[in-house]
Amino acid sequence: MPSPSLGLELLERLGELADLGHAGQLMAWDQQVMMPAEGAAARGEALATISRLHHDRLVDPQLGALLQRDAEAEPLIVRAVRRDHEVARRVPGELTAEMSRAGSDGYGAWLRARESNDFAVFEPALRRNIDLARQYAACFPEAAHPYDPLLDRFEPGTTTEQVSALFERLRAGLVPLLSQIAMQPVHQSLQGDLPVAAQREIGLEIAHAMGFDASGWRLDDAVHPFASSPAIGDVRVTSRFDDESLTGLFALMHEIGHGLYERGVDPQLGRTTLGSGVSLGVHESQSRLWENLVGRSPEFWTHWLPRMRERFPLTLRDIELDAFIRAINVVRPTLIRVEADEVTYSLHVILRFELELALIDGSLDPGDLPAAWAAKMKQFLGIEVPDDLRGVLQDIHWSEGIIGYFPTYAIGNVLAAQLWRVAQADLPDLDAELTRGELGSLRAWLREKVHRHGRLLTPPELIEQAVGGPLDPEPMLEHLRAKYGALYAL
């Protein structure tokens, strides 16, 4: 871990960059959680200003000179910041500001489109964001594919070719498994009265067991669940509860997983710009591990189901553990990505990846996106899309200009299974601890293997060090075959 051996001037500059990022995150969090709708235009301008100031300081030649001067003091810190510096130098500051402004405006348009269930309300904002994404990609003419620079923003060092190859292997394993499950009797998901207030209460109990602490965390509601951490000691998670399902409870565990990553970064990396997760794929591995590999396991619910029965006596009083596990692990093609099961989830991601490629390379016009979406949903999952709200308007990402992000969700699924396999080997008492409601050993293991490093290591370095090899979908596929083979008697 780093020591304060960097030059004072460089530390001050890194601190400024971190502070600007802090301010931007706070404004973005507020926009989705607390800001009144009429504040959108002003917030867009404020975020654009923050983005431009951050960009100007990051590309400053004096920062480059300081990085050169202090290269030997903290080589891993300098390496990471130099990469940020070199990438930012390729992008005009006004383009950075305009992308931020368009993302803020697009979010408001997306909300209005969802209210009216009409993609046409959102289309102009989407068209603007796609155009800006292409302008960004054009700043890197040497890229093998125009999508590469967009992907690199969220998964540094990963290429479109690599993701395509990974997704081919995933799809080849998932489609036959889904076909096998579809031939079996349908399992019933949980149905009944599941009051939101009670879900929030039990959700907070689980969150505290995972590591939520009111002194450094907060929980709020949002249209689209997310986590944000302006600083290592300031973690904000959101969820969206529904009184007819437990999707909000699992979404909360998912977002707490993200928060644990940010909370677990070595405090010495604070205000160095390295005090956050190294990539969104690694980030997603943390949330998916807690949501699915822990949160949908019989070991976990051995402890928590009795407490659920107390909270929901009308619905869960007589349910046995085996029946509950089957109910929360139903495999069924569905319209909504964030509500998808473990088997179909990555197919939702691959669908979005393919649509993004087409939007960026120009083979798909933004106005034709709803039809293309519906066609791929039919092709991938065999279901019809009834309207825009449950189709192309369900995700927040494109509204904010976040293009290149979606692949990281499936990368996270792959890495989560690899980490889980190593954790089970390193922690032989893990299953027994889960049955007792003890989550501290797993949290500590993840902090040591993943969280504490922040952005010091590159994603491939971190993955190699944590699991002993590169990304490999086979552990995930083996996990799914074993788990759902047993649940569906395949």
5 three-class SS: coil
What integer pLDDT is reported at residue 2 of this predicted model?
A: 46
The CA-atom distances, in angstroms, between 90 and each of 56, 83, 245 are: 12, 11, 47
Residue 1 has pLDDT above 60, yes or no: no
Q: Which among 404, 400, 377, 403 has a CA at the least distance from the CA of 388? A: 377
Average pLDDT score over residue span 394-420 = 97
Do the Cβ atoms of 465 and 457 come closer than 8 Å? yes
User: Which residues on adjacent β-strands are paired with residue 237?
Assistant: 219, 227
CATH code, 160-487: 1.10.1370.30
Q: Can you say how many angstroms the Cα of residue 342 is from the centroid of all Cα atoms in its chain?
A: 15
Exactly one of 74, 155, 255, 400 is catalytic; name it. 255
What integer pLDDT is reported at residue 188 of this predicted model?
A: 86
Q: What is the mean pLDDT of the chain?
A: 95
pLDDT band at 190 (very low <50, low <70, confident <90, very high): confident
Residue 416 has pLDDT above 50, yes or no: yes
> What's the predicted TM-score (pTM) here?
0.94
Q: Is 255 one of the catalytic residues? A: yes
Q: Indicate where the chain has its CATH 1.10.1370.30 domain(s).
A: 160-487
Read off the amino acid at residue 68. Q
Helices (H), 187-312: 196-210, 247-263, 280-288, 298-311
Q: Determine the Cα–Cα distance for residues 111 and 93; give it in Å rounded to an integer.
A: 28
What integer pLDDT is reported at residue 96 of this predicted model?
A: 94
Q: Can you say how many angstroms the Cα of residue 66 is from the centroid of all Cα atoms in its chain?
A: 33
Residue 420 has pLDDT above 50, yes or no: yes
Q: Determine the Cα–Cα distance for residues 431 and 198; give it in Å rounded to an integer.
A: 27
Angle between helices 298-311 and 196-210 (to 10 degrees): 140
Give tens-digit pLDDT for 126-185: 999 999 999 999 999 999 999 999 999 999 999 999 999 999 999 999 999 999 999 999
Q: What is the DSSP string of 444-471?
A: HHHHHHTGGGTTSS-HHHHHHHHHSSS-
Burial of 261 (0-12, 13-18, 19+ CB in 10 A): buried
Q: Determine the Cα–Cα distance for residues 89 and 397; give it in Å rounded to an integer.
A: 25
Contacts (Cβ under 8 Å, ≥6 apart) of 471: 166, 411, 414, 415, 418, 463
Q: Determine the Cα–Cα distance for residues 329 and 319; give it in Å rounded to an integer.
A: 15
Helices (H), 90-158: 93-116, 119-138, 148-152
Average pLDDT score over residue span 428-441 = 98
Tokens of 222: 């949002």
What integer pLDDT is reported at residue 4 of this predicted model?
A: 53
